[in-house]
A and B are shown apart, each in its own frame.
Chain A
């Protein structure tokens, strides 16, 4: 759904091994744009955690006499929605589910993808099967697969999360698989093998930390897209249900009042854009930090003759 899902740079072998995460850290600290993005995300997370204490009103408290009043109405900085609820308060409370529905599926998706990609890279035949299954999943546009799964399972937050996780697995698995295959050819793995270290130990003790960096970076670049997809599912009525505050459903509800009170849809949509932009900036910066040449490598999201995914 967005740029970031397209341009994935798998971790390249680098001279100093085992310092990928260090590079990532330096990259963010050294990049002023990334610092701003990380700052925005930090503030939003803080806002989500402190929501009940900083929001001026409870999210579902309504003053019916003030329905649809615009931003700047006394006591209601961002105005009120169609129920007469304070939009600022709903925005603050809504940040919780919006963040969770963007981040949690990515984390869970990575948790499934990392072992899948590692094992696939280690056992080539099994890997071939896994990657062919992933190819099939790539035949569905990301938003569409999530919509189909959520629609068939029925609306609700949990089902939406499950749908997103399933949708994300193929993307992340491909990244891990590509990184792990490169890693497998390196000297230290050969050495471990020669010392008859068990496969599992090589995979999950020695290779894992290096492969994780690629997955983490990729995950960061995709959070923004997932936030949009999750909000989109809620927009379609497949995600959180009323009256729960969440930015996607808030935008969706505001659509019915777009002429008389455009602020109801405008404000949560703007908030989503800001959040996604912060994640995208941070993701770009992380990716660049792993790829000193700032070269964007194209990943083909589909099978091909001899195409093995990644790079």
Chain B
């Protein structure tokens, strides 16, 4: 008895010791691998609102992904986003030193910058440009990115052909003039027309390349842990010394939950966050956090299912528009960090008129219209909604708000929430049967986005005329707007687009949100732009 108990005690003690040692070793090994040591003093940790899409610019999606991609990859021209949110960005040379536009506005000749190298040492030249154009648009090309045509119609829809003129001259010919061609080159989100190293594509292959993004930009890709972080570091050999990043590294994290994002900021785990909740701003300021806000071209657009048995009646669609109390929504739900929006032209985009309204708030009138349409007691429908991604916050709250507004006139809607990727996949297939309304943030500084939303070319299975608005007149008006000779002529055409859509009430909008970022006080040089993205080269901790 005595002996056995001693032996027993010993074994158990030995075991416990072993277990503790094993646990420590495990923690050391794993802790060691997950916490790389790098210079902390000038590293910025930036939390955005969603994890990133593919890092292949020709196959990537979302504005948040483009916020990173535009610093790793470049194209012929760029917008100068360092002048703040109230200045219309100037077009500046990038991988092209200069360019000529033909008399008829259809031919762009780019004179390429010499002595630019991709991060892997591959030289930038007209062949590299052709490789990239092939990859985006030529279905027979060996390294064609299949997702590209579906994502980037807004960029290449007017493309006729392109040619290598000489080693440092590249020409793109369009089928019709496009007044926004250069501006659109600088854009991204649904694909990005940016240049990727041909050597890297050939080395890693068409699919693997997104794990080894190699461009020419001011930042180089360092590593990515999916769902955790994406690290980019200063490119010390960047061709423009004036734009060499001030920070050593930027760690980008996608944190979808707004409360978690705010927590991480307050706790000092991250330095900047995108889109805190409007309700938290006073609280964050009290913690010594700086709130940076400014203009944004983003507004919330409503798609209406034209195939839906209720909504196919234009009176029902108009009644829906009249049921929304946009002023109160902006004032209470968004705490004034929003302004009511009407119609399909986004603020800070071409043709925008702040005084325009496609309908007035009038619940009584809405009820009458519904009764006229045969729904004196209203009807039931469904709203498919998304939690959103970049710059979206509390969209579920918006949906519940709209749901109550609709209920007051008799439109009883249920809500189904989807994450951003699923939502857009679904939108490509068109709105589901039984879904009457859906909404997401869009709008842009060019009207490239309208080309993706309202014309018949965007009808399902293409994205994103998801409510089946089939009106060829719109295609024609948009083509005319792109080909317009002057800004005034373009605006006039866009106003026609807006008015035709308002008459049909095929789309409406409800508010424009300001861009809001919360920044810890030791971070310097963060500048907002009037775009969905910004320039990270100026940011630092010194």
Which A residues contact B (CB, under 8 angstroms)? 60, 62, 64-65, 67-68, 82-84, 155, 237, 241-243, 253, 255-261
| A259 pairs with B283, CB closer than 8 A | yes
Given contacts A257-B259, A260-B280, contact A64 B396 (CB under 8 A): no
| B417 pairs with A242, CB closer than 8 A | yes
Q: A241-B417, A243-B403, A257-B279 are in contact. List 9 more A-B contacts (CB 8 A).
A: A60-B400, A60-B404, A64-B328, A82-B394, A83-B404, A241-B416, A242-B400, A255-B257, A256-B394
Cross-chain contact of B400 among A83, A255, A258 (Cβ < 8 A) = A83
| Chain B positions within 8 Å of A241 at CB level | 414-417
| Chain A positions within 8 Å of B400 at CB level | 60, 83, 242-243
Cross-chain contact of B277 among A84, A155, A243, A256 (Cβ < 8 A) = A256
| Chain A positions within 8 Å of B407 at CB level | 60
Kindly state the separation between the CA atoms of A82 and B394 in the bound complex, as whole angstroms. 10
The main secondary structure of chain A at its interface with chain B is loop
Kindly state the separation between the CA atoms of A88 and B46 in the bound complex, as whole angstroms. 39
| A260 pairs with B332, CB closer than 8 A | no
CB distance from B267 to the nearest CB of A (A): 11
Cross-chain contact of B401 among A83, A253, A258, A259 (Cβ < 8 A) = A83
| Chain B positions within 8 Å of A82 at CB level | 279, 394, 397
| Chain A positions within 8 Å of B328 at CB level | 64
| Chain A positions within 8 Å of B404 at CB level | 60, 62, 83
Number of A-B contacts (CB under 8 A): 61
Kindly state the separation between the CA atoms of A168 and B280 in the bound complex, as whole angstroms. 41
Total residues of chain B contacting the partner, CB 8 A: 27
Kindly state the separation between the CA atoms of A83 and B415 in the bound complex, as whole angstroms. 15
Given contacts A82-B279, A84-B332, A256-B277, contact A242 B415 (CB under 8 A): yes
Given contacts A62-B404, A84-B332, A243-B400, contact A257 B417 (CB under 8 A): no
| A243 pairs with B415, CB closer than 8 A | yes
| Chain A positions within 8 Å of B283 at CB level | 259-260
When C-beta atoms are compared, the residue in chain B nearest to A62 turns out to be B404
Binary contact track B407-445/A, C-beta < 8 Å → 1, others 0: 100000011110000000000000000000000000000
Within 8 A of A (CB), among B241-282: 257-259, 262-263, 266, 277, 279-280, 282
Listed residue (B259, B266, B414) with the most chain A CB atoms within 10 angstroms of its CB: B259
CB distance from A243 to the nearest CB of B (A): 5
Kindly state the separation between the CA atoms of A259 and B280 in the bound complex, as whole angstroms. 8
When C-beta atoms are compared, the residue in chain A nearest to B331 turns out to be A64
| A256 pairs with B257, CB closer than 8 A | yes
Cross-chain contact of A64 among B257, B277, B333, B403 (Cβ < 8 A) = B333
| Chain A positions within 8 Å of B416 at CB level | 155, 241
Listed residue (A60, A243, A258) with the most chain B CB atoms within 10 angstroms of its CB: A243
When C-beta atoms are compared, the residue in chain B nearest to A156 turns out to be B416
CB distance from B49 to the nearest CB of A (A): 13
Kindly state the separation between the CA atoms of A64 and B400 in the bound complex, as whole angstroms. 12
Q: Is B321 an interface residue (CB 8 A)?
A: no
Q: Is B399 an interface residue (CB 8 A)?
A: yes
Kindly state the separation between the CA atoms of A263 and B415 in the bound complex, as whole angstroms. 25
Kindly state the separation between the CA atoms of A225 and B259 in the bound complex, as whole angstroms. 27
Kindly state the separation between the CA atoms of A256 and B278 in the bound complex, as whole angstroms. 11
CB distance from A166 to the nearest CB of B (A): 23
| Chain B positions within 8 Å of A64 at CB level | 328, 332-333, 401
Cross-chain contact of B259 among A67, A68, A255 (Cβ < 8 A) = A255
Kindly state the separation between the CA atoms of A91 and B397 in the bound complex, as whole angstroms. 18
Given contacts A68-B279, A237-B417, A243-B403, contact A256 B333 (CB under 8 A): no
Binary contact track B326-342/A, C-beta < 8 Å → 1, others 0: 00100011000000000
CB distance from B22 to the nearest CB of A (A): 23
When C-beta atoms are compared, the residue in chain B nearest to A66 turns out to be B332
CB distance from A155 to the nearest CB of B (A): 8
Kindly state the separation between the CA atoms of A155 and B422 in the bound complex, as whole angstroms. 14
| B332 pairs with A65, CB closer than 8 A | yes
| B397 pairs with A83, CB closer than 8 A | yes
| A242 pairs with B396, CB closer than 8 A | yes
Kindly state the separation between the CA atoms of A253 and B259 in the bound complex, as whole angstroms. 10
| Chain B positions within 8 Å of A257 at CB level | 259, 277, 279-280
| Chain A positions within 8 Å of B417 at CB level | 237, 241-242
When C-beta atoms are compared, the residue in chain A nearest to B281 turns out to be A260
| Chain B positions within 8 Å of A65 at CB level | 332
| Chain B positions within 8 Å of A84 at CB level | 332
When C-beta atoms are compared, the residue in chain A nearest to B399 turns out to be A242
Kindly state the separation between the CA atoms of A247 and B407 in the bound complex, as whole angstroms. 23
Cross-chain contact of A256 among B258, B332, B401 (Cβ < 8 A) = B258
CB distance from B334 to the nearest CB of A (A): 11
CB distance from B395 to the nearest CB of A (A): 11
Kindly state the separation between the CA atoms of A82 and B397 in the bound complex, as whole angstroms. 8
> What are 28 pairs between A and B in contact, CB < 8 Å?
A60-B404, A62-B404, A64-B328, A64-B333, A65-B332, A67-B279, A67-B332, A67-B333, A82-B279, A82-B394, A84-B332, A241-B414, A241-B417, A242-B396, A242-B399, A243-B415, A253-B396, A255-B257, A256-B258, A257-B277, A257-B279, A258-B259, A259-B263, A259-B283, A260-B279, A260-B280, A260-B282, A260-B283
CB distance from B430 to the nearest CB of A (A): 19
Kindly state the separation between the CA atoms of A84 and B335 in the bound complex, as whole angstroms. 13
When C-beta atoms are compared, the residue in chain B nearest to A61 turns out to be B404
Kindly state the separation between the CA atoms of A97 and B415 in the bound complex, as whole angstroms. 18
When C-beta atoms are compared, the residue in chain B nearest to A60 turns out to be B404
| Chain B positions within 8 Å of A83 at CB level | 397, 400-401, 404
| Chain B positions within 8 Å of A259 at CB level | 259, 262-263, 266, 280, 283
| Chain B positions within 8 Å of A243 at CB level | 400, 403, 415
Kindly state the separation between the CA atoms of A67 and B415 in the bound complex, as whole angstroms. 21
Kindly state the separation between the CA atoms of A65 and B331 in the bound complex, as whole angstroms. 9
Kindly state the separation between the CA atoms of A147 and B21 in the bound complex, as whole angstroms. 34
Listed residue (A65, A253, A255, A259) with the most chain B CB atoms within 10 angstroms of its CB: A259
